[in-house]
Structure 1
Amino acid sequence: MGGSTVLHLPSGPAGVIAKLHPTVLFNICDSYIRRNDQQERVIGTLLGSVSTDGTVEIRNSYTVPHNESSDQVAVDIDYHRSMFELHQRVNPKEVVVGWYSTSSGVSGSDALIQDFYAREVTNPVHLTVDTTFSDETASIKAYVSTILSLGERQLAAQFHEIQLDLRLLEAERIGFDLLKKTMVEKLPNDLEGLEQSIGRLQNMIEVVFRYVDDVVEGRIPPDNSIGRYLAETISMVPKIAPEAFDRLFNDSIQDLLLVLYLANLTRTQLALAEKLNTAAQIL
């Protein structure tokens, strides 16, 4: 048994979490739209930071030119390093944390690209974005890799999916929902966006009410972590009388309507001035 060869099957890194900012997602989709006709997908570098607990926060990205076939892939390393140097001048706190590709999953050539980024950063994150939106949902996944070895010989990179959190503000969530649709007749205005936000808030409150009722009636067992989270959320809500809240909300709506009215009035005046200037030049 002393001279036998052992196949090492490493387990995936435990507790690794990737947090994705929506700007990165929009940059990836934009680079996919601007790709060459011959390219099936685009790849690029992910920038961000890594916390002490191993959480990877992805804040920025840029596209890296590449060529690939069924058995080989070539990445423009000089372009990647030049772009990284330029980003370092603007934001020196952002470092390389991994790379992305516009595909529905891991492909055969990803191991070669992963090996390149593994020389740039320890344990790089591989982010995949399905830009086809075939089922009208954005399939976004994150992976890390470990080396599958046979004795002293490294065979391949084994990818493991990790937890991915998409950090969205409410306005960004509305834009993300629009991005998932293949066709959009028009962008929602501020009032429509506010209506969608209030509707989504009502749905979340109803889910919380149902959960609390089920726990009180004994239909489901209580979860202490959820209870603490709900208690912290409620404690953060300021205590405002219903009349004061209605007055504050109505004042905000009136201010919003006034801004919309002034913006439309300014747009109309500019259009009239342009038409009068064009008519004067013709005469």
Structure 2
Amino acid sequence: MAVHGPVVKIHPVVLASIADSYERRNEGASRVIGTLLGTIDKHSVEVTNCFSVPHNESEDEVAVDMEFAKNMYELHKKVSPSESGKVIADNSVGRYLMDLVNKVPKIPAEDFESMLNSNINDLLMVTYLANLTQAQIALNEKLVVL
């Protein structure tokens, strides 16, 4: 009988960060401790970011720098509001982009196609001439050897 639980999605940057933290751990340290950041809903867990937390280990206990962890979490909330679930729409950005698009001169489709084809033909001619030059140089090198 299969047990169905939540789907866990881990962003590639998280895996790279975990591997990097492990590779950069202090000499003699057997583990890396950190915090995973992301979102949880009814059917999935999505891990979008993470950070390692400094700690000290003794034989029977681990001391974690909770102040560091708290400060890093607060910084991540400020930098990535989507991780805290608070992304506020900014209508001024959309208006600015629309104004910017409207400032671009309107070119009839036929003129645009003509300009594009002209540029493509120029690029094809440059490629053809470069290949022809390479062939002539190779031929010259072979003739010089004879």
1:114-146 CA-to-partner distances (Å, cap 9, x unmatched) read xxxxxxxxxxxxxxxxxxxxxxxxxxxxxxxxx
Pairs within 5 Å for 1:186-265: none
- Alignment correspondent of 1:82: 71
Match for residue 16 of structure 2 among 26, 37, 49: 26
Shift of 1:19: 1.1
* Structure 1: runs of 5 or more not aligned: 1-12, 96-257, 259-283
Equivalent residue letter for 1:71: D
Pairs within 5 Å for 1:46-195: 46-51=36-41, 53-95=42-84
- Alignment correspondent of 1:44: 34
Distance in 1 of aligned mates of 2:43 and 2:70: 24
Distance in 2 of aligned mates of 1:45 and 1:36: 18
Bigger Rg, which one: 2
With structure 2 as the length reference, what TM-score do the two structures score? 0.51
Indicate conservation of the 8 Å contact 1:47/1:61, yes or no.
yes
Shift of 1:20: 1.0
Equivalent residue letter for 1:48: G
Indicate conservation of the 8 Å contact 1:43/1:64, yes or no.
yes
With structure 1 as the length reference, what TM-score do the two structures score? 0.28
* Structure 2: runs of 5 or more not aligned: 85-126, 128-146
Distance in 2 of aligned mates of 1:83 and 1:54: 28
Equivalent residue letter for 1:27: S
Aligned pair count? 83
Indicate conservation of the 8 Å contact 1:49/1:93, yes or no.
no
Equivalent residue letter for 2:74: E
Shift of 1:71: 1.9
Structure 1 residues 72 and 49: alpha-carbon distance in aligned structure 2, compared to 1, 3 A threshold: same
